[in-house]
């Protein structure tokens, strides 16, 4: 009965023009939206805590490449446990909506902060860079290369903790080489390394 009730609520929400709940997660408000989908502030009803829910856009649900990237992000985040990397809790799919659940970090992206302040004092900049470097070191030690580090993918919490977001274009060094196509640039042009821009397969830390 509980599952049927959730499905009925989901259908009703879709008919009303939006999603209000996915499984045990009640969507409260949209935090942001990008090419792959949207991120919502949600309430984990079962655990009585707030979480961030990343929902893959429906238009990409049938695209094997997008779906693989989305699942790769969830897998990578789930395998990494570090204070400077956003923690992943769960991954799921309901009524055609693919989503994964992350810790909710109250704060703002480094990109937004730079837009507001213009530039950071050197000591604050160094502090953030050091924190991000520690997170990347942990990822590298566990066999992951992020490949898209940029201000938009770093959130600074209200306590001043820098956390790395968006592991969607990360690559496990144990992945077969054919999973990363030659001559296909992966990343963000303003921030990618020369070897990424050339579309090379082997991009290391």
Neighbour count for residue 153 (Cβ, 10 Å): 22
How far, in Å, CA of 136 to CA of 125, rounded? 16
- Please list, in sequence order, all residues whose beta carbon lies within 8 angstroms of the beta carbon of residue 70, skipping any fewer than 6 positions away: 36, 37, 56, 60, 98, 100, 168
- Please list, in sequence order, all residues whose beta carbon lies within 8 angstroms of the beta carbon of residue 142, skipping any fewer than 6 positions away: 79, 80
Helix (H, G, I), strand (E, B) or coil at 20: coil
Q: Is 166 a catalytic residue?
A: no
What's the Rg (C-alpha) of the chain?
18
44, 123, 148, 166: which is the annotated catalytic residue?
148
Q: How far is CA 72 from CA 97, 120, 170, in A?
A: 16, 33, 8
Residues marked as catalytic: 148
């Amino acid at each position: 009965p509980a599952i049927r009730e959730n499905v009925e609520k989901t259908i009703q929400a879709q008919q009303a023009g939006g999603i209000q709940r996915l499984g045990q997660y009640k969507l409260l408000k949209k935090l942001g939206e990008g090419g792959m989908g949207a991120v919502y502030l949600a309430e984990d009803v079962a655990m009585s805590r707030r979480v961030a829910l990343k929902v893959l856009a429906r238009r990409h649900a049938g695209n094997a490449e997008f779906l693989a990237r989305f699942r790769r992000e969830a897998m990578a985040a789930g395998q990494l446990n570090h204070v400077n990397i956003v923690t992943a809790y769960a991954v799921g799919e309901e009524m055609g909506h693919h989503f994964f659940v992350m810790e909710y970090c109250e704060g703002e992206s480094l990109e937004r902060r730079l837009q507001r302040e213009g530039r950071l004092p050197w000591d604050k900049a160094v502090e953030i860079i050091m924190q991000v470097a520690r997170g990347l070191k942990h990822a590298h030690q566990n066999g992951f290369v992020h490949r898209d580090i940029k201000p938009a993918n770093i959130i600074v919490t209200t306590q001043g903790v820098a956390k790395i977001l968006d592991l969607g274009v990360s690559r496990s060094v144990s992945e077969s080489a054919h999973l990363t196509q030659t001559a296909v640039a992966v990343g963000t042009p303003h921030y990618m390394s020369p070897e990424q821009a050339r579309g090379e397969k082997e991009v290391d830390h």
